[in-house]
Chains A and B, each alone.
Chain A
Amino acid sequence: MGWFTKKKATAVPVEQPAQEIWTQCPACKAHVSKEEWDKTFKVCPRCNFHERITARERVDLLIDPKTFTELYPKIKPSDPLGFVDGKGRYADKIEEARQKTGMNESVLTGYGQLSRIKVALAVMDFRFLGGSLAGSTGEKILLTSTFALKHRMPYIIVSASGGARMHEGIISLMQMAKTCAGIARLQEANIPFISVLTDPTTGGVSASFAMVGDIHIAEPGALIGFAGRRVIEETIKQKLPDDFQKAEYLLDHGFVDLIIRRDQMKQTIASLLRYYRR
């Protein structure tokens, strides 16, 4: 009987654990390979759930490779109120956000080619303090609109925001007016402004530049609204339907032109811009 004396075979290297090639859709819990998740830009192939993506990922999705030039990368929050609250210092929050995202503010701005069409672009990143709108956010968005005006480029803003950043008080509020003043100038010059509404687009952002695009393109299921659901329910003392403030609801109510899946966003925008004659 040889098995007692047989040497044990050398251990075969273990296959990569299952967790590393699979991920789970946060919405329908389907198992999707990471490869596919990345291929669809984080959209569930089964239920169409659009997970939030970073500003850089959005740029990769929309802009032709190697054609993006970042503008105003150094503009950062200045803590105009010297704000400190129950949770700590705003200055510390800014630093945390910078470490977490590698960004100086909640918006990435620049210009590039979208299917060979030159565009100016501002993309918000929800990871940076909830994509909130503060002084330096508004500054970047305005400066980029001025750039678009100067070079007569269509302007695309991709919104992802919980609204105005409280920590900068009235300075944040005024960015609503400031950014819209920039859009007004583009309007006057007949330069297209496309507003892409992603999840979430709320508060001071929905009540400013996000809702004055020539064309509003929303991602499926995106939450787009002014007041928060809970505040509304407390005000009217009623429960709201599940689809309230979703992209589809806004489409039905006349405030969104198109709902486009992420993987078709770039070609849709390109098709629309081809109707624009400079």
Chain B
Amino acid sequence: MNLEFEKAITELDEKIAALPAQDRTPQQTAEFEKLQKAKDAALKEIYSALTPWQTVQVARHPERPLIQDFIAGLFSEFIELHGDRLFGDDHAIVGGFATLDTWRVMVIGHQKGRGIDDNLKFNFGMARPEGYRKAMRLMHMAEKFKVPVVCFIDTPGAYPGADAEERGQAEAIARNLMEMSALKTPVIVAVTGEGGSGGALGIGVGDVLLMMSNAVYSVISPEGCASILWRDGTKAPEAATALKITAQALLKLKVIDEIVPEPIGGAQRDPKAAIAALRKVLIRNLDRLTHTSTSKLLKRRFEKYARIGSY
């Protein structure tokens, strides 16, 4: 599925599809290669200059890898664990022990679905208090077992339901922020898709904050910001630019630590390559953080956040 701003690609795709898949004449082969080259060049041009609003579309692409894909692609073993021991099991958050190469970790992440049924089951990756509480329970387990935590962030936001309010959505997120900041085990946070405000941050306080190059991270959705500050929901593209929500902008603001490059054309075009790039970055950071003393880890983590908004 091509995005609206990828019209040129769609046209090229159609021309390529018009050629026979096999037994091409030399002329057709030449044509095929010419079109492929043109497509690669067009993708490169578009993706090297995405506007923030275009980046939002890529971050939300229905074929973008989700946590299910990251788990399958990164870990040789994954044992999912369930429940917050207080109320229930939130399907919008997935978590469990996992093995990445030689590293044993606790992986936690927002779970979106593919297709409407899946998404309803996972509530579109919008967690309730029981999701944040499950996450924190697993993080304390990781602390006890002395394994690092890897959190994958991809959520439109915390679920704004009456039941979530009733069960203390604010308190659940707040508690996670407080406890994650002092967790005595390394925490790596990777924003893989949408970093939806407090709902994202609720499992997003750690020692290193990574972001895939076409992911976004914002205090409010561009649509929400546009309707409040521009009084016009159609001004979302302007809001997306003003808010500085792209990986590049956030690196410049020194809020994120590293950008994980995506293949040209976005992770949705080559999930394997996207996952491979993430694997490399995760391993490097796991190596570094697991060789850091706990006291140094905690001190640096505190300073990392103390520095933001300090002038």
Interface residues of A (CB under 8 A from B): 78, 80-81, 83-87, 134-136, 138-139, 142, 164, 166-178, 180-181, 183-185, 187-188, 203-204, 206-212, 224-228, 231-232, 235-236, 238, 240, 244-245, 253-255
Contact = CB atoms under 8 A, between A and B. Distances in A.
B83 to A, nearest CB: 19
A208 B198 CA distance: 9
Contact of B170 (A187, A226, A232, A238): A226
Interface residues of B, number: 56
A211 B244 CA distance: 28
Contacts, number: 189
B174 A207 contact: yes
A227 B165 contact: yes
A48 B230 CA distance: 37
Nearest to A138: B309
A227 B169 contact: yes
Given A172-B219, A210-B170, A225 B230 contact: no
A169 B222 CA distance: 11
Interface of B: 158-162, 164-171, 173-175, 177-182, 197-198, 201-202, 204-205, 217-220, 225, 228-232, 235, 238-239, 242-245, 250, 253, 255, 301-302, 305-306, 308-311
A168 B309 contact: yes
A169 B218 contact: yes
7 contacts: A169-B218, A170-B244, A176-B177, A178-B309, A207-B177, A224-B170, A236-B162
Given A87-B229, A232-B162, A255 B302 contact: no
A226 B309 CA distance: 23
- Which of B158, B179, B182, B204: most chain A CB closer than 10 A? B182
Interface SS of B by simple majority: helix
Contact of A206 (B174, B181, B302): B174
A202 to B, nearest CB: 8
Given A170-B255, A177-B201, 15 more contacts: A87-B231, A135-B311, A168-B309, A171-B308, A174-B201, A176-B177, A177-B204, A177-B205, A178-B306, A206-B174, A212-B177, A226-B158, A236-B161, A244-B162, A245-B165
Of all A-B residue pairs in the complex, the 7 with the closest CB atoms, nearest first, are A135-B309, A86-B230, A227-B160, A181-B181, A180-B177, A206-B170, A85-B229
A18 to B, nearest CB: 39
Given A171-B253, A171-B255, A210 B166 contact: no
Contact of A209 (B174, B198, B229): B174
- Which of B162, B178, B230, B231: most chain A CB closer than 10 A? B178
